[in-house]
Amino acid sequence: MKLIVGLGNPGEDYANNRHNVGFMCVNHFARTHSIRFDKKQGKARIGMGKVENIEVMLARPQTYMNESGLAVSALVDRFNISLDNLIVIHDDLDLPLGKIRFRLGGGWTTHKGVKSVNAELGSHSFSRLRVGIGRPTSDEGLTYVDYVLSNFTPEENRIIDEMMPRVSAAILCFLTEGLTEAMNKYNQKS
């Protein structure tokens, strides 16, 4: 079974925040493949199904971002998921808005959700799909925390909406062709 986790913060107050783009991505993938988040398992909402005859579990941790690892490690343990079958989808300040990049592992990170997953799993040997949210401009006067916890603007929402089918296609590629092929196809500069 493959475990696909989108990171975010639970609750309506955070639903459209930049920090919740991981939730948005797994929600889009779930809709595309008719998977419903109809179960609660430990500290996560999950949906299970088959995509291209591959068993998948989609998860949205119900912890806050900084404790995402608690939910992820519980699912990995409960369902005996090997780390090469785990993909974590999260926002990334270092990528321009709407760009996506696969990455295997990665040590220390400033993303506290990923840092929590690394710590709770005791490893960083899992795949990540980084989703660009850009950085605040100097004239916005926002700290990084304020920026990631603010909502996308209407123009940014249009870019995110256009990006979602590409993210779902990238996840499908990861599932059916593996990480290397997904990186080759979706980590392009263009």
Domain ranges of the chain: 2-186
Residues serving a catalytic function are 19
* pLDDT for 107: 62
Mean confidence (pLDDT) of the chain: 94
The token pair at 31 is 């809709």
Distance CA 131, CA 133 (A): 7
pLDDT tens, residue by residue, 166-182: 999 999 999 999 999 99
Evaluated on CA atoms 115, 166, 55, 16, the torsion sign reads positive
Map tokens 């990171």 to a residue: 7
* pLDDT for 173: 98
Distance CA 63, CA 92 (A): 19
Coil vs helix vs strand at 88: strand
pLDDT tens, residue by residue, 52-87: 999 999 999 999 999 999 999 999 999 999 999 999
Least confidently predicted of 11-25, 140-154, 162-176 = 140-154
Distance CA 145, CA 190 (A): 28
Q: Does domain 2-186 sit in CATH 3.40.50.1470?
A: yes
Distance CA 17, CA 149 (A): 5
Q: pLDDT at residue 190 above 60? A: no
Least confidently predicted of 132-136, 140-144, 158-162 = 140-144
* pLDDT for 106: 73
- pTM for the structure as a whole: 0.95
Please report the beta strands in 25-66, taking only residues with DSSP state E, as ranges in sequence order.
Answer: 39-41, 44-51, 54-61
Q: pLDDT at residue 189 above 70? A: no
Evaluated on CA atoms 31, 172, 41, 133, the torsion sign reads negative
* pLDDT for 141: 80
For the chain, percent of residues with pLDDT exceeding 70: 97
Spatial contact of 21 and 133, defined as CB atoms under 8 Å apart: yes
pLDDT tens, residue by residue, 82-127: 999 999 999 999 999 999 999 998 765 679 999 999 999 999 999 9
